[in-house]
A = this chain, B = another copy of it.
């Protein structure tokens, strides 16, 4: 889908084509994960990867990827007999989208609560904790 939004900028209004609303389903996300992780690949490869963690029929994966192509979620190279699919949206952009939505629906928008849950529940490595600490320091500096 496609939504138009008004965005205030200085003293003018601009139309912003919001390419938002990439809303991969759970299955689509699993496929994107494979493509992000391993780069452009065939349906066969993706299906083999998915098969490692769950039952999945070849034509099911194929159909899903064809649909994703229709939606513009993946590109495909049709030059060879087996088509090569690649993600058309970046991992971080998608994560940002999903996170925003998730934050709203699950944590009523409170990033604090989400972060605390994420850190509290899981045993996070010492190194990761340090990285977060650095990020915090940077954020502090930025707002002078």
Query: How many angstroms from the CA of A52 to the CA of B122 in the assembled complex?
Result: 36
B95 touches A113 (CB 8 A): yes
Q: Which residue of B lies closest to A118 (CB)?
A: B111
A116 touches B99 (CB 8 A): no
Q: Taking the complex as formed, is A135 at the interface, i.e. its CB lies under 8 A from any CB of chain B? A: yes
Q: Taking the complex as formed, is A115 at the interface, i.e. its CB lies under 8 A from any CB of chain B? A: yes
Q: Taking the complex as formed, is A114 at the interface, i.e. its CB lies under 8 A from any CB of chain B? A: yes
Which of A42-50, A74-82, A100-108 lies at the interface?
A100-108
A132 touches B124 (CB 8 A): no
Query: How many angstroms from the CA of A33 to the CA of B120 in the assembled complex?
Result: 22
**A contact residues vs B (CB 8 Å cutoff):** 26, 29-30, 33, 37, 92, 94-96, 98-100, 102-103, 105-108, 111-122, 124-126, 128-129, 131-133, 135-136, 139-140, 143
